Every structure is written in structure tokens, then in C-alpha cells.
Structure 1
Amino acid sequence: MDTLEAIHTRRSIRKYTDRPVSQELVTELLRAAMSAPSAVNSQPWVFIVIDDRKLLEEIPTFSPYAGMCREASLAILICGDTTQEKVPGYWVQDCSAATQNLLLAAHAVGVGAVWTGIYPIKDRIEGFRKAFGLPEHVIPLAFVPIGYPAQTPGPQDRYREEKVYHNRYGQKKK
């Protein structure tokens, strides 16, 4: 699968089979995530791989849109470590780029994944902080359940010309 095909056909997968995802594949996904760009190459990300069924069952109690993790083989929690930043505040962009790389890599190798947001919702941040023992300088950004897909949503063309301006806001190309 080439890059543009992966981008255009990647979909959020919320239903999974019971087929386990191998540790080798998880490492491959994390390697792709860590290949993301970051401000001044600071790479302020931290990843927590969660495959403990008890933890996966608990997460939806404080992250209401993460119910699909109960079926997932595993999940990856993407956090920003503010002590690793070289440019303050850019951890959000850096970790978002890593999350997108993770999602595209999962799709490219035939694994389903979905980005569930945490940051900046205080209740979710505190829920993940407590459940995973995160220190104050490590902030959870995204939670990504992963598994082999039990659904195959088709691609969608999301291009919208009305969202494109040229040279200035509100100016259309002549």
C-alpha cells in the first residue's frame, strides 16, 4: 500500500476480532509512531502498551468514547513528556503526529485502530493519570485501541473545496 492510498483509505475501526496482535507488530507500529516529526527533534512522546484485560475493561469508566477497547487486542496510550520538550507547548503537535503515524502504520499492515481523544479534557486526563501512574510532567494525549478489524468501512472522499482559500482567508482562486 502506498502512502496516498493509506491516507485515503484509513478509517477508524471500532470492532475487532479476537485474533491477537503480535509483539513484533506492536514494535513495528511504535517504530512508525516514533518516526514522526517533532519540534527541534525533541521527540517528547511516551507510549504505554496496554494488553491487560482488566485495565482495558476499566478505561471506558473514565474515557466514555473508548468502549471499543473492551474488544481490542491491546491499546496504546500516547503521552507527552513536558521535560523532553525543547520548544514549550509543542508536545501536543509532536504527539499528534506520532499518533497519526501509528494509525497509518496500523492500516498499512492490516490492523484496525481508532484515535480516542484525552487531552485537553480534565476528567479524562486525570482518569488516565490515576490508572497508569503518570507523573505531572507526563500528559496523556490520545488512547488508541488496536486489533484485527471485524468491520471494513469503505473510503470516503473528504475533500471540500469550500474549505480552501488562496492567498488570504475568504479569497477563492479565480
Structure 2
Amino acid sequence: MSAIFKRTSVRKFENKEVEGSKIDLLLKAAMAAPSAANQQPWEFYVVKNKATLAALADCSPYGGCIRDAAAAIVPVYRKETMLPEFAEIDLSIATENILLEATELDLGAVWIGIAPLKDRIENVRKALKIPDHLVPFAIVPIGYPTGAAKQQNRFDAERVHFE
């Protein structure tokens, strides 16, 4: 569980390719996530093309760092699932698994939120030509970080309630 306490949001990347074997491990980690009724509503777009990364960077006001990433993973979910109301929760867990595995692999990554904002969803849909039966959920730029960052201690005992 050390990745939980080491993970930081990385927005600055070295100009270095991420190995395909590491991308595979990130995707395996994502698909190892639990999901409501085991519906596994996810699919993933892996983007390495610099022009497409630049297009994704323009899909959110917080996406500038995507432009310099070695790759990005775009989790999407299928609209037609057993429990569609839980799809975004399922994708949240899968996305967190990507971030934690990136930390384990000495990669940097950050979660760029897309869903539930309709304009960002449509921007990503257009950039990747995503069909209507899939909904873009997030963009996770990935690469080797330019430096090390120390995780903030966010524990606040006042937010814990014991009965």
C-alpha cells in the first residue's frame, strides 16, 4: 500500500517514451478494479500520438500538461450496462488504480476530470472520434516525472467520527 502514500499529481514530464509493458500494467490495474455487480463498464483509449495529445490538452481548461505527456489513457464507459447509475463510480475506481500503478512503476500521472461535464465529454468525444455508445470519463496523462514531489498529509482526525 505504499503507493497510496507516495502518489502525487504529476503534471510535468520528461521527454521520454513510456514502455508498452508499463502501459499494459496500467491497463491491467484499471481492469482489476471492483465494479457494481461486476458489470465492468469500462473501455480505454491509449493515446501516444503527439497531435492527438495536443487535441486532448485543449479539451479541458486543466489539460495543458497532456501536451507534454508521453501518453494518455482515456477511460470511457458504455452507456448500456446492467447498472448505468454506477458506471462513473466504477470508472473512478479504475482510474485510481491507474494512478496507483503509475506510482508503483515510477511514472507520473494526474487525473483530468471530464465527466460529468457535457462540454468536456463532447470535446474528448470529438478529439478521439468516440462513438455515441461510449462516454468519456477522464484523461490520465502519463510519463516520467521531471522531479520528485512529496505527498501532502491530508489526514484530518476531526473528519473521523466513531460511534
- TM-score, structure 2 normalization: 0.96
What is the distance in 1 between the residues matched to 2:130 and 2:90? 19
Q: Give how far 1:162 is off.
A: 1.9
Q: Which runs of 4+ in 1 moved over 6 A?
A: none
Give the conservation status (yes or no) of the 8 Å contact 1:44–1:91: yes
**Greater C-alpha Rg:** 1
Distance 2:44 2:74 in 1: 6
Partner Cα separation in structure 2 for residue 166 and residue 69 of structure 1: 41
Quote the Cα distance in structure 1 between the aligned partners of 2:57 and 2:97.
24
Contact 1:13 1:151 in 2 (8 A): no
Tell me what 1:82 maps to: 79
Cα distance, 1:137 vs. partner?
2.2
Q: Which residue of 2 is the match for residue 156 of structure 1?
A: 152
Corresponding residue to 2:35 among 33, 38, 45: 38
Q: Percent identity?
A: 42
Amino acid at match of 2:154: R
1:85-104 maps to which residues of 2 (within 5 A)? Answer: 85-104=81-100
Matched, 1:139 2:135: yes
- The answer (yes or no) to whether the contact 1:45–1:81 under 8 Å persists in 2 is yes
- From 49, 54, 63, give the equivalent of 1:52: 49
What CA distance in whole angstroms lies between the structure 2 residues aligned with 1:36 and 1:62? 26
Q: Measure, in 2, the Cα distance between the counterparts of 1:62 and 1:95.
A: 19
How far apart are 1:133 and its partner, in Å? 1.6
1:125 aligns with 121
For structure 2, the residue ranges without an aligned partner over 5 or more in a row are: none
C-alpha contact (below 8 Å) 1:12/1:112 kept by paired residues: yes
State the TM-score, normalized to the length of structure 1. Answer: 0.90
Aligned-partner SS, 1:79: strand
Tell me how far 1:88 sits from its aligned partner: 2.5
Residue identity opposite 1:6 in structure 2: A
Query: In the alignment, what sits opposite 1:13?
Result: 10
